A and B are shown apart, each in its own frame.
Chain A
Amino acid sequence: MQTPIHTPVKVSLGHIPSPTPDHTLRRAVRRAARALTYRLWTGLAAGAMALCLTACQKPPQDWKLTDVSGHMPDLQFSLTSDTGAPITEAAFKGDITLVFFGYTHCPDVCPETMARLSQVIQQLGPKADHVRIAFISVDPHRDTPAMLHAYVRAFDPQHAQGMTGSDQAIAALARRYRVAYELGKPGPDGNYEVDHSAAIYIFDGQSHIRLMATDNDSAEVLVHDLRLLIADAA
């Protein structure tokens, strides 16, 4: 975007008849110098503009979570909602969305994360009107829409949405956000566990990735950053 100021200026000497008349050479040098000056000025102007774009923006936020803005693709998916209807990222437009990949047969980390997110929503109070929790199943075979519906509602009936999809759709989405998950071997009772990433991905109302939280980040830390993000959107 920015014009590199060191770009060599091409001076075509190819058509200059030999021996080169002195004035032609001088004109060529002048032209080259003018071009160089022009390029220098445009380069400087572009540089100044880039600087201003950075410096003239709002001061950097005091995030407690990891700021991953621009480091991951926008929220985009085509899945099945917990009511069985097709759902895409459009359903979350305008809302700050906390995306968590998990599975309902996970007795410890997933419910603990969902409980923490529901506490965050409670602590945000009316500010949580435009904050949503998206629970995406990495175990689509057991997590039917009905299972997910009851599950997410147990944590937050207003703000939480469960989503599932085909193996391919889930795998593609997990790849998009570098989420690792692996289905374990079923035990004698058919039960199996799923190793999975416990990260929470936070998208703004325009579906842009903004922050990332881990299972070590407390509800208070999440509330702090979500307040900043809500203020930023206002």
Chain B
Amino acid sequence: MKLHTLLATTLICSAGLLGLGLAPAARAAGETAANATTHAADTLSISNGWVRWLPNGLPQAGYLTLTNNGDQPVDLLGASSPDFGDVMLHQSIGSGSTMRMVMVDKLTIPAHGKVDISPGGYHLMLMTATHPVAPGGTVQMVLKFSNGKTLTTALPVRSAGGQ
């Protein structure tokens, strides 16, 4: 496992050295990446995104994985959605047998690492839908990062059961 990571790091570092001349152009082009699921030129990518639908216009949760292929850690600073009046990054924390939710100001994605925003941990709390959201549909999510980048992605809406 360690060796694997080391190997991957070495490979990425070499690639980084080779691609040095191209980097500024790639940065300029990738400033605002639309629908970023995988962007070779970007250091950040979003995968496994989904939203759990709940009835009655209840607050819902959005989940995704953030991967940072860059050499520097990057912070997720904010999230918004045209489909919801309010989006907040929260974390469910278990203390003993009791669960509570705390607001998260920033979430660091380590260099060459990833962070799962997944059930029972971090979640994007979506409140006050601007229009009816239903399973089978999508929710647009705009994520702002500390490196100045903004990624937009479409999260598929799943049923309450997560299917």
Which residues of A pack against B, CB within 8 Å?
104-109, 111-112, 114-115, 118-119, 147, 150-151, 153-156, 180-182, 189, 191, 193, 195-199, 214-215
Name B124's closest neighbour in chain A (CB-CB).
A107
Shortest beta-carbon distance from B135 to chain A in Å: 9
- A107-B58, A107-B123, A108-B92 as given contacts; A214 in contact with B52, CB under 8 Å: no
Taking CB atoms, residues of chain B closer than 8 Å to A112 are 119-120, 162
A-B contact pairs, 22 of them (CB 8 A): A107-B52, A107-B60, A107-B90, A109-B92, A109-B119, A112-B120, A115-B52, A115-B119, A115-B162, A154-B161, A156-B161, A180-B97, A180-B98, A181-B98, A195-B100, A197-B97, A197-B99, A198-B97, A198-B98, A214-B97, A215-B94, A215-B120
Q: How far is the CB of A35 from chain B (nearest CB, A)?
A: 52
Q: Are B54 and A195 in contact (CB under 8 A)?
A: no
Chain B residue nearest to A181 (CB atoms) is: B98
Q: Is B159 an interface residue (CB 8 A)?
A: yes
Write out the residue numbers on chain A whose beta carbons fall within 8 Å of the beta carbon of B120. 108-109, 112, 215
Q: Given contacts A189-B86, A215-B94, list 15 more A-B pairs with CB under 8 A.
A: A107-B54, A108-B90, A111-B61, A115-B160, A115-B161, A150-B56, A151-B54, A153-B55, A154-B159, A154-B160, A180-B98, A181-B98, A189-B128, A195-B99, A195-B100
A104 B54 Cβ-Cβ under 8 A: yes
- Distance A115 CA – B160 CA, assembled complex (angstroms): 7
Cβ of B160: which chain A residues have Cβ within 8 Å of it?
A: 111, 114-115, 154-155
- Which of chain A's residues have a CB closer than 8 A to the CB of B90? 107-108
Contact in complex: B61, A107 (CB < 8 Å): yes
Instruction: Find out whether the CB atom of A119 lies under 8 angstroms from the CB atom of B56.
Output: no
B127 at the interface (CB under 8 A from A): yes
Residues in chain A near residue B128, CB distance under 8 A: 189
* Cα–Cα, bound, A150→B126 (Å): 19
How far is it, in angstroms, between the C-alpha of A196 and the C-alpha of B56 when the chains are bound?
Answer: 22
**B→A interface (CB under 8 Å):** 52-56, 58-61, 86, 90, 92, 94, 97-101, 119-120, 123, 125-128, 159-162
Contact of B97 with A199 in the complex, beta carbons under 8 Å: yes
Task: Return chain B residues, CB-CB under 8 Å to A156.
Answer: 161
Q: From B93, which residue of chain A is reached at the shortest CB distance?
A: A195
B156, chain A: closest CB distance, angstroms: 16
- Nearest first, the 9 closest Cβ-Cβ pairs linking A and B are A154-B160, A195-B100, A112-B119, A150-B55, A107-B61, A107-B59, A198-B99, A108-B123, A115-B161
The answer on a CB contact under 8 Å between B98 and A195 is yes
Partner of B54, one of A109, A111, A193, A215: A111
Residues of B within 8 A of A115 (CB): 52, 119, 160-162
| In-complex Cβ contact of A119 among B54, B55, B161 (8 A) | B161
Cα A118 to Cα B160 in complex, Å, equals 10
A111 touches B56 (CB 8 A): no
Say whether A151 contacts B92, CB under 8 Å.
no
B59 near A151: Cβ-Cβ < 8 Å = no
* A150–B53 CA distance with the chains assembled, in angstroms: 12
CB contact between A193 and one of B58, B94, B100, B159 (< 8 Å): that residue: B100
Q: Which residues of B contact A193 (CB under 8 A)?
A: 100-101
